[in-house]
Amino acid sequence: MSAGASNPEFVNARVRSRRATLFADEDYRKLIRMGPSGIARFMEEREYEDEINELGARFSGVDLIEYALNRNLAKHFDDLLDWSEGRLYDLIARYLRKFDVWNVKTVIRGIYTDTPAEEIRTDLIRAGELDDALLDRLVDAGEIEDVIELLNRTIFYEPLSAAFEVYEESGTLVPLENALDRTFYERLLADLGRPQEGPEAMYVEFLQAEIDFRNARNALRLARSGADLDPSAFYIEGGTLFTESELNRLVNDRDELVTHITEDRTYGDRLSTALDQLREADSLIQFEHALDAALLEYSDRLSSIYPVSVSAVLSYILAKEREVENIRAIARGREVGLSEAEIEDELVVL
Amino acid sequence: MATDVKPTRKELMAIEDRIELSERGHGTLEQKRDGLIMEFMDILDRAQDVRGELTSDYEEAQRTINMARAMEGDVAVRGAAAALQEHPEITTESKNIMGVVVPQIESSRVSKSLDQRGYGLMGTSARIDEAAEAYEDLLESIILAAEVETAMKKMLEEIETTKRRVNALEFKLLPDLYESEEYIEQKLEEQEREEIFRMKKIKDKKEAEEAEAAAEETDPFVDADVQESVAGGD
C-alpha cells in the first residue's frame, strides 16, 4: 500500500487527459467496418502506437490487437497506481487486483498444463498490484506450491494455501481459482463500511453492484447447470441482492431466482428486460450482457457526480476496460466472421 | 472347365455333392445379403440422423466458441481450456450384427458439470460455459458418429463381399458345375451306349459262332461241300 495522503486531484487531472483519448462511439462504428489489419492500423494511429510497434514483430492479426490492448491497459492502470497515494491508492488497488487474480490464475494454469514460461508471460496483464519481478518469479516457479509460497506477502497467500490441500485431493484447479476470485471480491469492500454519501458511497455502491451481479451470474449458472454443488461455496459477501441462505434456497428454483432479482428495488427495473429474455430463452448470455450494460451505467454516474474523487478514477478504469473489450470484440468478431449487426449487438457501448 | 473333369461316375457324384452344397450356400448367402442390406438401411437412416446432429452440433460449437473468443478474448478462452487436464475416456467393445463385428464405443467424462471443467466459477462467464457445453455435445456426437459410421462401413464391406460371393456362385461356380455335370452325364451316357453296342456286337458274334458250331455238328457233308465251294470261289 502506498504511504502518504490521498491525492485524488492530482490523479484525476491526469485521468481526464487519458479519458479524452478513449475511443468514441463513432470510432467503434468505423472499426466495425474494418478488417483486423485495418483495426490494427487505426489503433496504431491513436493511443496504441507503442504497443502495436513493440509487439508487431512477434504477433500479427487479431493476436497482435489483443496483446496490444492488454499491454496498453496494463500501462494505463499501472500509471494510476504509480500516481495515486494513501487512501486513493488503496481504493484503486482493490479493484485492480482483479488483474493480479488473472495473472496468478494464468501462471497456475500454465504450470498445471506444462505451458512454456514464455507463453505464460505473454498472457499476463501486468495491470495489478503485483510487480513485474514477482510475476516473473511466479512464471519461473515451476510448481504450484512454489507459486503460493512466492505470494506469501500478499492477500492471496492464506486462501491459496488453504485451497491447495483441496486441489491436491481433487486434482482440479477449481479450488485454487475460486479462492483467488473469492479473495478479490471479499477484499473489495473490506473496511469500507457503509458510507451514505460522498464519492466513497458511490464507490461502495458500484462495488456492491459488482458483487451482486457476480452472485446473480453464479446463482443462475449454478441453477442452469444442475450440478450438485454447494451454492455457499460460490456466495460472495458484501452485496445487497442475496443473503447466503436466500442464495442457497433460490439456486434450486430458477424461476424463483429470476423473480427474486426482478423484485429487487435496486436492480429490478434496470434488469427487467434481460430477465424477461432469460425466462424465455435458456441462454444466460443476454442476461450477462444486461449486467455489463448496467455496470456501465453505474460507471457513467461515477464520473459525473464527484469528478475529483476515487469514483471518477474508477469510472475511467471501467471505461478503459470497456474500450479494450469492445475493440477486442470487434477484431475477434471480424476474424471469426460475425456480421456487423451481431458485433454491434454484443458491444455494450453502442 | 467341364473338359478338365474326368467323366467318371465317382466324379459325377462329387460334382452333384458340390452342386447341392453350392446351391444351399447360394441360398444362405442370398438371405444373408438381404438381411445385411436391411440392417444396413436401418444403420444408414441412423447414420444420416447422427451426421445431421453432428453438423448442427459443430455449427453450434463454432458459433459459441467464436462468440466466446470475440467477447472474452482468446487469452481468456485459452486459459479456461488450460484449466482442464482430464481428458475424456473412450472404450471400445464389439458387437455382432449378422456375422459382422462392429465397434461399440463407450465414452465417459465427456459431459462435465461446472465443477469438473477445471476453471473457477467466479472468474468466468456463461459464454465460456456455453462454449464448453457445446464442445462436449459435439464430442458426444463425434463419438456416436464414429460408432455408427464405422458400423455402416463394415456392413457395406460385408455386403460387397457377400454380393461377390453370391454372384460368383450364381454366375460362375454353379454354371461350371452344371456344365461339368452335364458333360459327365453325356460322356457316361455315351460310354453306356458304346458299351451296349459293344455288348450287342459280342453277343451277335457269339451267337453266330454258336450257330456255326451247331451246324457243323448236325451235317458234316454240308460242311465239305461248303469247303469245296469256298475253294472253287478263290
Collect all residues of chain B within an 8 Å Cβ-Cβ radius of residue A114.
Answer: none
Q: Which tens digits make up the pLDDT trace of A173-193?
A: 888 988 999 999 888 888 777
Q: Give the mean pLDDT of B209-216.
A: 91
With cell 460460490, the residue in question is A234
Task: Tell me the whole-structure pTM to 2 decimals.
Answer: 0.78
Q: What is the pLDDT of residue B219?
A: 67
Angle between helices A310-335 and A36-45 (to 10 degrees): 150
- Which of B84, B117, B121, B124 best probes binding to A when mutated, by most A CB atoms within 10 angstroms? B121
- Chain B residues in contact with A101 by the CB 8 A cut-off are 123
Cell of B131: 462454449
Q: CB distance B122–A337 less than 8 Å?
A: no
Q: What is the mean pLDDT of residues A198-211?
A: 83
The C-alpha atoms of residue A337 and residue B63 are separated, in whole angstroms, by 10
Q: Which cell is A18 given?
A: 487519458
Instruction: Name the CA radius of gyration of chain A, rounded.
Output: 20
Parallel, antiparallel or unpaired: strands B89-97 and B100-108: antiparallel
Residues of B whose CB is below 8 A from A221: 114, 121, 126, 129
Residue of A69, A99, A156, A225 to mutate for B, most B C-beta atoms under 10 A: A225
CA distance to partner chain A, nearest, from residue B135 (Å)? 15
For residue range B148-196, list pLDDT tens digits in order.
999 999 999 999 999 999 999 999 999 999 999 999 999 999 999 999 9
Q: How far is A258 from chain B (nearest CA, A)?
A: 16
CA distance B146 to chain A (A): 28
pLDDT of residue B233: 47
Residue boundaries of the structural domains of chain B: 14-164
Encode pLDDT of A11-33 as tens digits: 989 998 998 999 988 899 899 98
> How would residue A347 be classed by pLDDT, with cut points 50, 70 and 90?
confident
Distance in Å, alpha carbon of A265 to nearest chain B alpha carbon: 24
Classify domain B14-164 by CATH number.
Answer: 1.10.287.3240
What ipTM goes with this model? 0.80
Select from B69, B113, B120 the Cβ nearest to the Cβ of A332: B69
With a cut of 80, say whether residue B17 has pLDDT above it.
yes
Residues from B contacting A (CB-CB < 8 Å) are 66-67, 69-71, 73-75, 78-79, 82-86, 113-116, 118-123, 125-127, 129-130
Residue corresponding to grid cell 487505426: A42
The reply to whether residue B66 touches residue A338, judged by beta carbons under 8 angstroms, is yes
Q: What are phi and psi of B102, to 5 degrees?
A: -115, 150
Residue A1 has pLDDT above 60, yes or no: no
Is pLDDT of B115 > 80? no
Helix/strand/coil (H, E, C) string of chain B? CHHHCCCCHHHHHHHHHHHHHHHHHHHHHHHHHHHHHHHHHHHHHHHHHHHHHHHHHHHHHHHHHHHHHHHHCHHHHHHHHHCCCCCCEEEEEEEEECCEEEEEEEEECCCCCHHHCCCCCCCCCHHHHHHHHHHHHHHHHHHHHHHHHHHHHHHHHHHHHHHHHHHHHHHHHHHHHHHHHHHHHHHHHHHHHHHHHHHHHHHHHHHHHHHHHHHHHHCHHHHHHHHHHHHHHC
Report percent pLDDT > 90 for chain A.
38
Chain B nearest-CA residue for A229: B115
**Which band of pLDDT confidence, cut at 50, 70 and 90, is reported for residue B234?**
very low
The alpha carbon of residue A110 is apart from the nearest alpha carbon of chain B, in Å, by 7
